[in-house]
Chains A and B, each alone.
Chain A
Amino acid sequence: MGILQAILVSMPGAVAQGLIWGIMAIGVYITFKVLDFADLTVDGSICTGMAVCAMLIAAGWNVWLAMLAALLAGMLTGLVTGLFHTLLGIPAILSGILTQLILWSMNLVIMGKANQPVNAMRVPLLVTRLHLTESILILIAFNLVLIGVLYWFFGTEFGSALRATGCNKNMARAQGINTNLHTVFALMLSNGSVALSGALLAQYQGSADINNGRGAIVIGLAAVIIGEAIVSKISRNFIVRLLGVALGAVIYYIVYQIVIGLRIPTDLLKMLSAIVVAIFLAVPYWKKKFAKPLRKEAPQNAET
């Protein structure tokens, strides 16, 4: 089988994985872009979602209930990070790292060992490698429903206050918004989505592994960045941006599969992802630093 053919054959799998990570990336978008909070909890909470889902399926739970439990467990991890930050005053990044470390232990406790198989024979699963077409359709539906719910939510009074919290905490408090509450809630919403994607991932790959979440934040950020790059020229509409993030994750996994197909050592892939994310994060900073101002300080001197 030629390289090209091998790559083409692997594409549906890449799309399915990308769609699963799209849900995760949307979770990252909520904290990183809307809340302006670099949340590292996700490396742990995605694995928590996998672990909870895998164990409950092994115990014979209905797959929907297992996924709901994973979602709630993920929200709990966001709550922990949120309380570290708002109640204990720990810096955002460190709060996430602490929770991540807690979750490493918790995930082992939940699974009882480092790896837990998810057996498709015992309970009917929602997504599997065996039924790729159905799985892809279901995953597309998951992405669309999540995006729809978030679009509605951020248009409500509560969601709007959350956006204000991410944008300008001083302003938010001056307008009577409890910024701590909204920060905690955004973290719960984000990590709930991340754990849900973990629950889907465990089903798809047929196992949950303690190492699965490592570097998840970088994949999430890469998807967010790719998504922004694609859709920012088309529309600034929130729904389009969320669609872009999901699409970004799919593109990430398509590229990933091509890299594998080209026999580039996959050991290097995490490093390459990290470098790509670093470059994309650096671009706006360097642009600002070196770009000549096109118009002279318009905001300050412009006519009232």
Chain B
Amino acid sequence: MLKLENVRKVFHPGTVNEKVALDSVSVTLADGDFVTVIGGNGAGKSTMLNAVAGVFPIDGGSIAIDGQDITKLPEYKRAPLIGRVFQDPMMGTAADMWLEENMALALRRGKKRGLRWALTSKERKLFREKLAELGLGLEDRMTTKVGLLSGGQRQAVTLLMATLIEPKMLLLDEHTAALDPKTAAKVLELSDRFISQGHLTALMVTHNMRDAIAHGNRLIMMNEGRIILDVAGEEKKKLTVEALLEFFQQASGEAFANDRALLG
């Protein structure tokens, strides 16, 4: 489904701040893979997701989804293939537009946007049903500006929008990191539900090792722009936080410098 081959990305090349964010990363996701991605700060997790999404051009290697080479495609042209939820709850929705307007924008992902009405009554009905499934009472707030919703509500809406048109790939970039634990759990549960219902192929970056172990069928650990661990299936199910931490220490020669990894 997703194939990264020797993907390389260097930030600020030729300056004192030069940083190799992705150091020839190669990984292949099978159809229906739900991969959690962990690693320390600056390991390249988000950079990998952004490279797939096309936020910036990569400096080497290639990216393909479903056999289609998307390496050179601009971000907006990849959007039909990719659904995304960001770490910042502000980022995935248009705050000044109504909830139903946001949903209507998402329903046209990858479609030609012409001079037909941006929102029809038939679509309103569909959105109402979809929002009701979230169980957050948002179906009665369809003409509320999204900016007035809570962070958790916005992430749930962004998740719904990302999957409204079934994506080939779902990219979740620490999408629960900015939420309180209870809300985070709810959004994670929704993520699980959407992914299993739609049989989606997904990449989920998280700081939380427990979440990384509990969700998905495969786990990738990154360090300094490389993938240093890739476990799937039964082997992944047996993983523990302690084992992951120990592995990380051995591989990187340093402690996992993030308290949040242990919490939760």
Contact = CB atoms under 8 A, between A and B. Distances in A.
Interface of A: 153, 155-161, 163-164, 167-168, 170-179, 298-304
A163 B113 CA distance: 13
Given A157-B117, A158-B113, A171-B91, A176 B182 contact: no
Given A157-B117, A160-B118, A161-B113, A176 B80 contact: yes
Contacts of A159: 118
B150 interface: yes
A158 B109 contact: no
Given A160-B104, A163-B94, A175-B106, A304 B117 contact: no
Interface in B87-140: 89-97, 101, 104-106, 108-111, 113-119, 136
Contacts of A170: 86, 91-92
Given A157-B116, A160-B101, A167-B95, A175 B161 contact: yes
A161 B111 CA distance: 12
B108 A175 contact: yes
B151 A157 contact: no
Nearest to A170: B91
A179 B76 contact: yes
Contacts of A161: 105, 108, 113
B232 interface: no
B150 A304 contact: yes
B136 to A, nearest CB: 6
Interface residues on B, range: 35 or more
B152 interface: yes
Given A157-B117, A302-B150, A304-B179, 8 more contacts: A161-B113, A163-B97, A171-B93, A173-B75, A174-B75, A300-B180, A303-B150, A304-B136
Interface in B125-168: 136, 148-153, 156, 161-162
A31 to B, nearest CB: 15
- Interface centre among A163, A168, A302, by most chain B C-beta atoms within 10 angstroms, is A168
Nearest to A158: B113
Contacts of B117: 155-157
Interface in B69-84: 75-77, 79-80, 82, 84
- Interface centre among A168, A172, A178, A304, by most chain B C-beta atoms within 10 angstroms, is A304
In the A-B complex, the 9 residue pairs with the closest CB atoms: A176-B79, A160-B118, A302-B150, A304-B152, A167-B94, A157-B113, A304-B183, A176-B109, A173-B75
B209 interface: no
B186 interface: yes
25 contacts: A155-B117, A156-B117, A157-B108, A158-B113, A158-B115, A161-B108, A163-B96, A164-B97, A164-B105, A168-B91, A170-B92, A171-B92, A174-B84, A174-B92, A177-B76, A177-B105, A177-B113, A299-B148, A299-B151, A300-B178, A302-B150, A302-B153, A304-B150, A304-B183, A304-B187
A304 B185 CA distance: 10
A153 B115 CA distance: 7
B94 A164 contact: yes
Contacts of A155: 117-118
B95 to A, nearest CB: 6
B146 to A, nearest CB: 9
Interface of B: 53, 75-77, 79-80, 82, 84, 86, 89-97, 101, 104-106, 108-111, 113-119, 136, 148-153, 156, 161-162, 178-180, 182-183, 186-187
Given A299-B149, A304-B182, A173 B114 contact: no
A299 B94 contact: no
B127 to A, nearest CB: 14
Nearest to B153: A304
Contacts of B92: 170-171, 174
A134 B232 CA distance: 78
Contacts of B82: 174
A178 B111 CA distance: 12
A273 B58 CA distance: 48
A157 B75 contact: no
A156 B53 contact: no
Nearest to B118: A160
Contacts of A178: 76
A167 B93 CA distance: 9
Nearest to A303: B150
A293 B127 CA distance: 33
Contacts of B95: 167-168
A114 B228 CA distance: 70
Nearest to A300: B151
A300 B178 CA distance: 8
B187 to A, nearest CB: 7
B109 to A, nearest CB: 5
A164 B90 CA distance: 13
